Amino acid sequence: MIPRYARPEMSAIWTPESKYGIWLEIETLAAEAMAEYGIIPADAAKAIRERGNFDVDRIDEIEREVKHDIIAFTTSVAEFVGEEARFLHKGLTSSDVLDTCLAVQLTRASDILLADMDALLESIKARAYEHKMTPTIGRSHGIHAEPTTFGVKLATYYAEFSRNKKRLEVAREEIATCALSGAVGTYANIDPRIEEYVAERLNLEPEPVSTQVIPRDRHAAFFSALGVIASSIERLATEIRHLQRTEVLEAEEFFSAGQKGSSAMPHKRNPVLTENLTGLARLVRSSVMPALENVALWHERDISHSSVERGIGPDATIHLDFALARLKGVMDGLIVYPDHMMANMDALGGLHNSQRVLLALVEAGCSREDAYRLVQRNAMKTWQERTPFADHLKADADVMAKLSTEKVDDLFDLDYHMKRVDHIFGRVFG
């Protein structure tokens, strides 16, 4: 985990304190459930609830000795609880606590990510409405195609992140399970009602069948979803990087007063935030393969997944949280240059209407082949001379034999391309 790309709330989920706190809550709930079902004395559960606590340094000290994190933990707790501590952890296996804890951490992380997503969606939506009718050239292959609006461009990101939100909700559900099923998942030494009791209080679902662990296909699906979201971040970041290019300059990351793009070149205003997001996308994505490789544990479990998750668990959620928040900031502050958009669009002399002219000629009775030829010869002149395409058409007798001057002017009406924007916004924003 790179501290530079971490925010406190998400990071807090992954501290030792947080982890031990969740362990304690799981153990305490399990004890309370056992008391409820008459398996351990009610007083013991009460003592665990009231005096239950832990000491991180003490846990570290014990672990160095026994080399077993859960034993170190319960020993530390026992030092607070006293004699009743012997009812702690009864019938549980370490993974019951570890895996249920991971579920709690990942659901909490998901909740933050979902909130990030909402904030980002709100920001994109606001900018989309602001520029709903701001004309800009649509580009395929990096080459001018036909006009669209900057609002429509942003609407595609809104729709994409809406899908991502849904994916994240599904991913959250995937990993929101609780397993307290014992050494090999048979409930031999633990009543399944304990699991149900604890699950309910932690807002988790009982895992229908576990081995020693919660099955890792769930986590693989979870991290894959993060990988998709990261890739969408990359798409929006890449768009902004393109728009900020010197030659394009249709939009720009906000540049704070006093910020320096370069120590020597005052004209430098670099899209460093979106470049950074591009890199973070690669990092988040790199958790997908190890998560997939974690699925095929041996028999009822091996522990190879553990070190992987100590890495990707915090890393992928913390960096994705940071990236979503940074992206929202970029969107909020994005400086948009409608005049540059218009200037860029006009730079080809209206060539982006070539298809419309072609269709008009066909409608006016030209064969498609003839129409294409007529359009192309005027387009080529426009391309070479960068003079208005409409002027060339109007100077072409063969064209004018089919189209009136007014008709030609009509064909260069920008509104034509914007007539469905309302329809699109209706689909996307409801």
Contact assessment for residue 20 and residue 59, using Cβ atoms and an 8 Å cutoff: yes
- Sole binder of a second copy in the list 51, 386, 407, 427 (CB under 8 A): 427
Beta-carbon contacts of 32 under 8 Å, excluding residues fewer than 6 positions away, are 45, 48, 49, 197
Helix (H) or strand (E) segment spanning residue 9: helix 8-13
Site size toward a second copy, by CB under 8 A: 153
Contact assessment for residue 244 and residue 252, using Cβ atoms and an 8 Å cutoff: yes
86 touches a second copy (CB under 8 A): yes
8 touches a second copy (CB under 8 A): no
At position 409, the amino acid (one-letter code) is: D
For the chain, report the end-to-end CA distance as a whole number of angstroms: 39
26 touches a second copy (CB under 8 A): no
| Rounded CA separation 134/285 (Å) | 34
Residue 149 DSSP label: E
Min dist. Cβ of residue 317 to a second copy (A): 14
- Sole binder of a second copy in the list 127, 165, 167, 328 (CB under 8 A): 167
Contact assessment for residue 61 and residue 36, using Cβ atoms and an 8 Å cutoff: no
344 touches a second copy (CB under 8 A): yes
Min dist. Cβ of residue 125 to a second copy (A): 13
387 touches a second copy (CB under 8 A): no
Active site residue 242: no
Query: What's the CA angle centered on 85, arms 84 and 87, to 5 degrees?
Result: 80
138 touches a second copy (CB under 8 A): yes
Active site residue 256: no
* Torsion over CA: 24, 30, 33, 34 (sign): negative
- Sole binder of a second copy in the list 212, 320, 331, 403 (CB under 8 A): 212
Residue tagged active-site, from 89, 224, 262, 263: 262
Min dist. Cβ of residue 104 to a second copy (A): 20
Residues 100/102/104/110 CA torsion (nearest 10 deg)? -140
| Rounded CA separation 330/326 (Å) | 6
Min dist. Cβ of residue 425 to a second copy (A): 9
Residue tagged active-site, from 140, 141, 256, 267: 141
304 touches a second copy (CB under 8 A): yes
Q: Return the number of the residue (134 or 164) whose C-beta is nearest a second copy.
A: 164
232 touches a second copy (CB under 8 A): yes
Residue at token pair 């699925």: 295
Query: What's the CA angle centered on 102, arms 98 and 103, to 5 degrees?
Result: 120
Q: Return the number of the residue (258 or 397) whose C-beta is nearest a second copy.
A: 258
Q: Return the number of the residue (52 or 185) whose C-beta is nearest a second copy.
A: 185
Stretch that binds a second copy, among 32-40, 119-127, 398-406, 416-424 (CB under 8 A): 416-424
Stretch that binds a second copy, among 17-25, 60-68, 115-123, 392-400 (CB under 8 A): 60-68
Q: Could you say which residues in the range 180-199 bind a second copy, by CB under 8 A?
A: 182-189, 192
Contact assessment for residue 378 and residue 389, using Cβ atoms and an 8 Å cutoff: yes
379 touches a second copy (CB under 8 A): yes
Residue 140 DSSP label: E
56 touches a second copy (CB under 8 A): no
Token couple for 373: 């030829």
- Sole binder of a second copy in the list 269, 336, 341, 361 (CB under 8 A): 269
Q: Could you say which residues in the range 102-131 bind a second copy, by CB under 8 A?
A: none
Residue 43: CB atoms within 10 A of its CB come to 11
Residue 207 DSSP label: P
Residue at token pair 């969606």: 121
Q: Could you say which residues in the range 323-342 bind a second copy, by CB under 8 A?
A: none
246 touches a second copy (CB under 8 A): yes
276 touches a second copy (CB under 8 A): yes
Maximal CA-CA distance, the chain? 103
Residues designated catalytic: 141, 262
